[in-house]
């Protein structure tokens, strides 16, 4: 839990003491940002001729403009995020669909392999029987003198 602390910052030549929950590091960062803006403004001739009040107003408007642009960026990235979420959702559903089809195909393959093995066994059995029958028949033919070379 952060505690209240006091930090002195120098902004545009004025020292101000701030009390709050933000760290000294953060407050110095913000002060530097503002001082940099003032330095940029001072490069513009017309700025230097403005009243103190107007200078403050210009500074406030400029910083506020940075703020609004950052807010706009948040909106845009959040929109992108929502689109990605939608894409993810649809992709996940597509994946599930294909996985189910694969499961079904693999199950069918298993059944077909089993059937195939049974067919092959049946064929071997029938062919073996056939050979046996043919042997017996040939044997009989020999015994009954149906072969000319006996």
> Interface residues with its own copies (CB under 8 A)?
9, 11-12, 14, 16, 18, 22, 26-27, 29-31, 33-34, 52-54, 56-61, 63-68, 70-71, 73-74, 77-78, 80-81, 84-85, 87-88, 91-92, 94-95, 98-99, 101-102, 105-106, 108-109, 112-113, 115-116, 119-120, 122-123, 126-127, 129-130, 133, 137
**Shortest gap between Cβ of 36 and its own copies (angstroms)?**
11
Q: What is the DSSP string of 12-52?
A: TTEEEEEEESS-HHHHHHHHHHHHHHHHHHHTSHHHHTS-H
**Shortest gap between Cβ of 103 and its own copies (angstroms)?**
10
**Cα first-last separation, the chain:** 115
Look up residue 34 and give its two tokens: 């503002």
**Shortest gap between Cβ of 45 and its own copies (angstroms)?**
15
Tokens 């030549």, residue located? 13
Q: Which helix (H) or strand (E) holds 5?
A: strand 5-11
Q: Which C-beta is closer to its own copies: that of 5 or that of 120?
A: 120
**Shortest gap between Cβ of 87 and its own copies (angstroms)?**
6
- C-alpha span between 150 and 148 (Å, rounded): 6
Strand-pair partners of 11:
14
Q: Which C-beta is closer to its own copies: that of 40 or that of 60?
A: 60
């Amino acid at each position: 839990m952060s505690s209240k602390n006091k930090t002195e910052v120098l902004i545009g030549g004025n020292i101000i003491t701030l009390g709050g929950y933000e760290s000294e590091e953060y407050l110095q960062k913000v002060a530097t940002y503002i001082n940099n803006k003032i330095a940029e403004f001072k490069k513009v001739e017309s700025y230097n001729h403005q009243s103190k009040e107007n200078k403050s107003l210009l500074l406030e408007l400029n910083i506020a403009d940075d703020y609004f642009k950052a807010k706009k960026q948040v909106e845009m990235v959040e929109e992108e995020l929502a689109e990605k979420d939608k894409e993810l959702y649809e992709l996940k559903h597509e994946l599930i669909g294909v996985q189910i089809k694969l499961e079904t195909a693999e199950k069918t393959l298993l059944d077909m392999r089993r059937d195939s093995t049974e067919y092959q066994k049946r064929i071997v059995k029938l062919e073996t029987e056939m050979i046996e029958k043919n042997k017996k028949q040939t044997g009989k033919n020999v015994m009954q003198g149906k072969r000319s070379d006996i």
